[in-house]
């Protein structure tokens, strides 16, 4: 059996970097909803046209359309052997939709990797990065607000998966390699090994 994973983590925890590494290790695609939106908009697909109209109106992309985009992406050949989802599901309704989509193929999520880190350490890291990159808009208030939004948005999703015993907490502070090693160890302890197979 192959790995079907979800990754969540607060801003500044290096989620995108780790997502790429995990996907490469397991030989599955890292699927980011943001990337899917941008690709469909770029290619002017029917879904992309819908997304563009919604975003141009200043609205959020509704669950129904996001679910449709994800279903379309997971139906592509490279996702047959598994996937790593980044940025989805974002709501409990999306969790249910993903459950139904996978159940129709007798599949389910194997694990949810949650990067955890001290908020003050992350705020410090992000402010340092903003200073180095000249991002004057990334004030301390803005950075702290993003952390709060992340916590509020992900809590229900994490809770839904925690009830099933699927959440794997990993310390997100440290070097890229250190965090990557922790993730590999955590997944291995759950029977998910790096060659992409699942063992009991």
- Indicate whether 32 belongs to any domain: yes
| Full residue range of the structural domain in which residue 120 is found | 4-189
Q: How confident is the model at residue 31 (pLDDT cuts 50, 70, 90)?
A: very high
* pLDDT at residue 195 in the model: 61
Q: Is 194 part of any domain? A: no
Report pLDDT digits (tens) over 54-113. Answer: 888 888 788 898 999 899 999 999 999 899 999 999 889 999 999 999 999 999 999 999
Asked whether residue 49 is domain-assigned, the answer is yes
- Flag whether 139 is in a domain: yes
The DSSP line for the chain is ---EEEEE--TTS-HHHHHHHHHHHHT--EEEHHHHHHHHHHHT-HHHHHHHHHHHTTPPPPHHHHHHHHHHHHTSGGGTT-EEEES---SHHHHHHHHHHHHTTT----EEEEEE--HHHHHHHHHHHHHHHT-TT--HHHHHHHHHHHHHHHHHHHHHHHTTT-EEEEE--S-HHHHHHHHHHHHHHTTB-TTS-B--
Percent of the chain at pLDDT exceeding 70: 96
Average pLDDT rounded to a whole number, residues 165-185: 94
* Count of domains observed in the chain: 1
pLDDT top residue among 59 and 157: 157
Residue 72 lies in a domain: yes
The pLDDT, as a whole number, for residue 196 is 41
The CATH number of residue 153's host domain is: 3.40.50.300
Q: What is the value of pTM for the model shown?
A: 0.86
Catalytic residues: 15, 90, 129, 135, 146
């Amino acid at each position: 059996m192959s790995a079907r994973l979800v990754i969540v983590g607060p801003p500044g925890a290096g989620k995108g970097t780790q997502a790429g590494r995990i996907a490469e290790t397991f030989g599955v695609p890292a699927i980011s909803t943001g990337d899917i939106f941008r690709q469909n908009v770029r290619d002017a697909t029917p879904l992309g046209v819908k997304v563009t109209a919604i975003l141009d109106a200043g609205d959020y992309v509704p669950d129904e359309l996001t679910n449709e985009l994800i279903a379309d992406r997971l139906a592509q050949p490279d996702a047959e052997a598994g996937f790593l989802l980044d940025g989805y599901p974002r709501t409990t309704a999306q969790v249910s939709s993903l459950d139904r989509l996978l159940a129709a193929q007798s599949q389910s999520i194997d694990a949810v990797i949650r990067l955890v880190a001290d908020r003050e350490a992350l705020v410090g890291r992000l402010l340092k990065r903003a200073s180095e990159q000249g991002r004057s808009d990334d004030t301390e208030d803005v950075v702290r607000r993003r952390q709060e939004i992340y916590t509020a948005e992900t809590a229900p999703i994490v809770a839904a998966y925690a009830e099933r015993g699927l959440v794997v907490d990993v310390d997100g502070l440290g070097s890229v390699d250190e965090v990557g090693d922790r993730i590999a160890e955590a997944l291995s302890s759950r029977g998910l090994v790096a060659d992409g197979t699942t063992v009991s």
